[in-house]
């Protein structure tokens, strides 16, 4: 086991939460974008909310068995497995003067809920802060261990 395992775990979590905050920021910035992509019919579609899927690193039984036979610890931490689009339907808003309004006067708006995004952003921020605290605690323990040798 490496003395830096705790720092490596916190570093992977910091990277993951930072990407999560970036995706949430993108969602908030595009909350009113009605022409984000072009569908297969050649028509514009609104921005579709994106979400981050997080998983632990190296969690297969095979990797644990291999590392156990070599007397090494499996890699721990988290990583972003993928970024997926929310399949929730677009919101219809009545605005006949909008350039993207259909024949009935409705505009398809992105499926981004600013309240959900703010909750996700707060959650990612708190997790980021907790990992900074854990990283600092690991650093302080290693510094104290070095002082013992003086």
- For residue range 21-64, what is the model confidence (pLDDT) as tens digits? 999 999 999 999 999 888 888 889 999 999 999 988 876 666 66
Domain ranges of the chain: 5-31+50-85+112-148
pTM score above 0.95:
no
> Tokens representing 10?
């916190």
pLDDT reported for residue 56: 84
Q: How much is the mean pLDDT over the chain?
A: 89
Longest dimension (CA), the chain: 80
**What's the average model confidence in pLDDT over 133-148?**
91
- For CA atoms 134, 139, 144, 145, the dihedral sign is positive
Burial 134-148 (b: 16+ CB within 10 A, else e): bbeebeeeeeeeeee
Q: CA–CA separation, 48 vs 88, rounded Å?
A: 9
Count of other CB atoms within 10 angstroms of residue 125: 14
Q: Residue 142 in 3-state DSSP?
A: helix
Predicted confidence (pLDDT) at residue 71 exceeds the cutoff of 80: no
Structure tokens at 83: 């970024």
């Amino acid at each position: 086991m490496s003395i830096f395992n705790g720092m490596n775990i916190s570093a992977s979590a910091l990277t993951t939460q930072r990407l999560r905050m970036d995706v949430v920021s993108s969602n908030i910035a595009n909350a009113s974008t009605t022409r984000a992509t072009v569908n297969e019919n050649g028509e514009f579609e609104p921005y579709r909310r994106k979400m981050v899927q997080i998983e632990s690193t190296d969690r297969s039984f095979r990797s644990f068995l291999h590392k156990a036979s070599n007397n090494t610890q499996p890699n721990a931490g988290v990583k972003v497995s993928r970024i997926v689009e929310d399949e929730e339907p677009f919101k219809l808003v009545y605005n006949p003067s909008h350039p993207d309004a259909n024949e009935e006067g409705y505009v398809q708006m992105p499926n981004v809920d600013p309240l959900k995004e703010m909750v996700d952003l707060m959650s990612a921020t708190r997790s980021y802060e907790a990992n900074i605290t854990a990283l600092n605690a690991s650093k302080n323990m290693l510094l104290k261990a070095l002082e013992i040798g003086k």
